[in-house]
Amino acid sequence: MKALRPVLIAAALLCAANLFAQTNNPVPAAKSGYGPGSALIPATRATPTNWMARHEGFVAQAKRGGVDILFMGDSITDNWRSKGLNVWNKTYAPLNAANFGIGGDRTQHVLWRIEHGELDGIKPKVTVLMIGTNNSNNDPADDIAKAIGMIIDDIHMKIPGTKILLLAVFPRNKPADKPSQLETIHQVNELIAKYDNGNTVRFLDIGPKFLGPDGKVPADIMPDFLHPNEKGYQIWADAMAPTLAEMMK
């Protein structure tokens, strides 16, 4: 993946440049963080307005060190601070865990955050990574999977000693979700499962734990059919516990 990275970024930038040349879009995709190929291009967020402040807070937290488990991702990870707080406090807080999730983030935003200091000075034994659901509505599965591979490379470049617990993108079935988007998530999970090397990267798909008999996410686990409630976070913690404990040794 590291050897392919310059090629992937160059191809994505060319795609974004061609799109910009053909439209009246005032912001190139490479800067906006959206558009064809953008999953692979590190980018900041225009909104929410506190995104950069949160990033800077994570940078400061990393410099203080003292983190043994790091969670990185989007709102599903971010919500350990709210909907999953009780589960977090009893399960992960005693293990010196830190949460670097930001709601709304896509692969390109996590890439940018890592490359701008969020892992500097931090040495977690395990990094729990789940990202990609926000890309699934407009990026192809192959790009999303390649971007996740780039994130894995960046984490190991910054923290050579950390092990990565790579989670499959969780199932979702919001009313607005199109079948094509759900299929993209399925394809992403199939692709990123191949990053599991049995040692420094482990892939874990706990999605079936969230599904009801009809194969869909029930409202009593994810009320909006995307974000877990406290019950959902307990399911997450329980399903992840054996693999996480093994990786922490």
Catalytic residues: 75, 224, 227
> What amino acid is encoded at 114 in this protein?
I
Place of tokens 């790091």: 70
Distances (CA, A) of 137 to 53, 99, 161, 183: 27, 25, 34, 10
Distances (CA, A) of 189 to 147, 166, 193, 194, 215: 13, 10, 6, 9, 17
Question: What are the φ/ψ torsions at residue 147 (nearest 5 degrees)?
Answer: -65, -40
Q: What is the token pair recorded at 119?
A: 């892992």
Residues 6 or more apart whose Cβ sits within 8 Å of residue 79: 101, 103, 227, 228, 233
DSSP of 105-123: --HHHHHHHIIIIITTT--
28 vs 25: CA distance, rounded Å: 7
122 vs 183: CA distance, rounded Å: 36
Q: What is the token pair recorded at 223?
A: 């009320």
